[in-house]
A and B are shown apart, each in its own frame.
Chain A
């Protein structure tokens, strides 16, 4: 596709439910990032993939958060036993190669935990 696609756009979950957020990066992009953006804040790094390898997951806030990219293209961010503090916009971004390549962002998934 022309850009990064994320689904769903909006997700409402009851506290304790598991959710899965999907990201389709730009075709051929090697690097894929997940960010969490709280209301009125900048994006906070969660995790980074180069192809299928998860090279950095230092930003994942707890072991309830898990991300995968098994074939080096589509990625899924899973949050288990959601809590209210997980409510945020989750942004996916991809880039062509290294840190000199700009990030291309999807429109995000707004997660609301009730």
Chain B
């Protein structure tokens, strides 16, 4: 089974500063990678996805992520954060070999400080 590791449980960052949220997954032949955002009392909303092709993926709200196969990583970045980016962020992976299961990390709580 796949596993997903989000090394940072909490990330505080000042408004307009850049941020990187880290995600590593266990290796597999081929994987699909996703980042989701969860605002309080809401479900998860898709930020971006990597299926194949270009390793740099752009998503909504100015976020992007880079797939690095050799390091089995899929880190999420934003060059300048806003107060409204304060939320919980989850990295997820699926590989198509385990009955369409999606595996989630434990999440990173991003707090943007005014």
Q: Which residues of chain B are within 8 angstroms of A50 by Cβ–Cβ distance? A: 100
Instruction: Among A41, A44, A107, point to the contact of B43 (Cβ < 8 A).
Output: A107
Chain A residues with CB under 8 Å of B95's CB are 99
- Interface residue total, chain A, C-beta cutoff 8 A: 29
Q: State how many angstroms separate the Cβ of A21 from the closest Cβ of chain B.
A: 13
Residues of A within 8 A of B100 (CB): 31, 48, 50, 55-56, 95, 98-99
The contact string, 1 if C-beta is below 8 Å from chain A, for chain B 37-56, is 00001111110010100000
Report the nearest B residue to A102, measured CB to CB. B46
| Cβ-defined contact, A48 with B99, below 8 A | yes
Is A1 part of the contact surface with B, judged by Cβ < 8 Å? no
Whether A79 is near chain B, meaning CB under 8 Å from some CB there, is: no
Q: Is the CB of B94 closer than 8 A to any CB of chain A?
A: yes
The A/B interface has a contact count, at CB < 8 Å, of 70
Q: Mark A30-48, 1 if CB is under 8 A from B, else 0.
A: 0101010000111111001
* Docked CA distance A4–B34 (Å): 19
Please give the distance in Å from A29's CB to the nearest CB on chain B.
Answer: 12
A25: chain B residues at CB < 8 Å are none
CB of A91 within 8 Å of the partner chain:
yes
Instruction: Tell me the bound Cα distance from A12 to B34 in angstroms.
Output: 32
What residues of chain A have their CB less than 8 Å away from a CB belonging to chain B? 4, 6, 31, 33, 35, 40-45, 48, 50, 55-56, 91, 93, 95, 98-100, 102-108, 110
Given A42-B107, A44-B104, A45-B102; 20 other pairs, CB 8 A cutoff: A40-B107, A41-B106, A42-B90, A42-B106, A43-B44, A43-B90, A43-B104, A45-B103, A48-B99, A48-B101, A55-B100, A56-B100, A91-B43, A93-B43, A99-B96, A99-B100, A100-B32, A102-B49, A103-B44, A107-B42
